[in-house]
């Protein structure tokens, strides 16, 4: 079993290492480094997670599940009125539902990467890295599904219509790869943001969930690096029509994915009969904290670097609540 990954493992990944990614030599060097890291520092869903360890047992009554992923639902008056055992069960259901959505997203990502790699030529370094990523995402999927299975909760994740829509995402990997890789960021950045914040918070996280999250953020750092640097290289070459289409599609995709990853899943809402007033209070709390905007901040910065924040797209970003409100200027002589 590999040692538990630390923050240093993810920090060593060249997430923003190549601002000159459009240079072929620099880009090939970056992809080669990511591929080496996937060989030197990778994790297996079963060899590196001791599922049968006593402290890895999933206890629905464990109050450490409460708010472990920063859900604003736990701040509502309705939630405060629940007995601790019900709060714990609801917290676990939220975690499990996110796991199910996460593994379904990983499935779409893997299918898209395979579709993308099918069009690559011999000797293209992206081919090797795309397959490294598919393998790693496969282990993430196995981890998430094993957690769901052991929880005893029958989480369903995406609905039938949403599952059909995923086919269009997969096809975009060949037809419009720039949009596909923004979809990758839209799915990975919000959950990466939530997991890193939870791990940094000092909160007492159940050991099994902590190990899964540490493995996930370590390997996702490489996947995010690949997507970002691919976009830095590919987007500048787009024609004006595709560039405009991309600039308008990106905030919509980000909003949809952030709502899915950060909101209260409908299955949980229905199972626990959560009142509409509580859901509205949770949404207000997330909006007041600019939760979605913070979760997609890195993607928005990348869109700005790539010239995708013209007047119309910028208005769309603001209208969807994906831009943090401007802070009031500090009075002279005050400190933060």
Domain boundaries, the chain: 31-319
Instruction: Select the more confidently predicted residue: 273 or 192.
Output: 273
Q: Would you state the pLDDT for residue 326?
A: 59
Q: Would you state the pLDDT for residue 182?
A: 95
What are the φ and ψ backbone dihedral angles of 26, each rounded to 5 degrees?
-65, -40
Q: Would you state the pLDDT for residue 194?
A: 83
Could you give the CA distance from residue 51 to residue 69 in angstroms, rounded to a whole number? 21
Work out the average pLDDT over 24-45: 93
Could you give the CA distance from residue 155 to residue 148 in angstroms, rounded to a whole number? 7
Architecture of the CATH domain 31-319: Orthogonal Bundle (1.10)
In this predicted structure, which of 1-10, 50-59, 302-311, 320-329 has the lowest mean pLDDT? 1-10
Is 213 within 8 Å of 198 (Cβ atoms)?
yes
Work out the average pLDDT over 7-11: 47
Q: pTM of the predicted model, to two decimals?
A: 0.86
| pLDDT of residue 329 exceeding 50 | no
Could you give the CA distance from residue 66 to residue 84 in angstroms, rounded to a whole number? 9
Could you give the CA distance from residue 172 to residue 166 in angstroms, rounded to a whole number? 10
> Sign of torsion, CA 271 86 157 277?
positive
Could you give the CA distance from residue 107 to residue 140 in angstroms, rounded to a whole number? 10
Could you give the CA distance from residue 193 to residue 131 in angstroms, rounded to a whole number? 25
| pLDDT of residue 205 exceeding 50 | yes
- Residues 6 or more apart in contact with residue 111 via CB below 8 angstroms: 170, 173
Could you give the CA distance from residue 128 to residue 120 in angstroms, rounded to a whole number? 10
| pLDDT tens-place string over residues 61-80 | 999 999 887 788 888 999 99
Task: Categorize the per-residue pLDDT at 288 as very low, low, confident or very high, splitting at 50, 70 and 90.
Answer: low
Task: Categorize the per-residue pLDDT at 15 as very low, low, confident or very high, splitting at 50, 70 and 90.
Answer: very low
Could you give the CA distance from residue 210 to residue 65 in angstroms, rounded to a whole number? 11
Q: Would you state the pLDDT for residue 6?
A: 53
Within 10 A of 59 (CB to CB), how many other CB atoms are there?
A: 11
């Amino acid at each position: 079993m590999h040692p538990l990954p630390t923050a240093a493992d993810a920090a060593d990944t060249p997430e923003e290492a190549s601002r000159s990614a459009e240079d072929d030599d620099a880009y090939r060097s970056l992809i080669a480094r990511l591929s080496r890291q996937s060989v030197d520092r990778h994790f297996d869903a079963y060899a590196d997670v001791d599922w049968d360890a006593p402290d890895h047992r999933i206890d629905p009554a464990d109050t450490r599940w409460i708010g472990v992923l920063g859900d604003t639902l736990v701040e509502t008056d309705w939630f405060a009125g629940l007995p601790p055992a019900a709060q714990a069960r609801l917290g676990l259901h939220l975690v499990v539902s996110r796991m199910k959505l996460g593994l379904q997203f990983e499935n779409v990502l893997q299918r898209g990467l395979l579709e993308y790699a099918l069009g690559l030529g011999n000797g293209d370094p992206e081919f090797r890295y795309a397959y490294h990523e598919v393998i790693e995402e496969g282990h993430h999927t196995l981890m998430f599904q094993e957690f769901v299975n052991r929880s005893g909760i029958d989480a369903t994740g995406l609905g039938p219509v949403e599952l059909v829509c995923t086919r269009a995402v997969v096809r975009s990997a060949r037809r419009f790869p720039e949009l596909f890789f923004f979809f990758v960021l839209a799915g990975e950045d919000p959950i990466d943001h939530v997991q890193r914040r939870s791990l940094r918070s000092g909160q007492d996280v159940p050991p099994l969930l902590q190990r899964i999250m540490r493995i996930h953020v370590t390997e996702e750092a490489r996947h995010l690096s690949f997507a970002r640097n691919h976009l830095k290289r590919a987007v500048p070459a787009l024609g004006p029509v595709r560039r405009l289409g991309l600039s308008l599609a990106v905030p919509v995709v980000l909003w949809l994915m952030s709502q899915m990853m950060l909101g209260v899943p409908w299955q949980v809402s229905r199972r626990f009969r959560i009142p509409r007033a509580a859901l509205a209070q949770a949404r207000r709390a997330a909006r007041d904290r600019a939760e979605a905007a913070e979760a997609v901040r890195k993607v928005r910065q990348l869109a700005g670097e790539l010239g995708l924040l013209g007047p119309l797209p910028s208005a769309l970003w603001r209208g969807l609540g994906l831009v943090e409100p401007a802070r009031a200027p500090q009075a002279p002589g005050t400190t933060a």
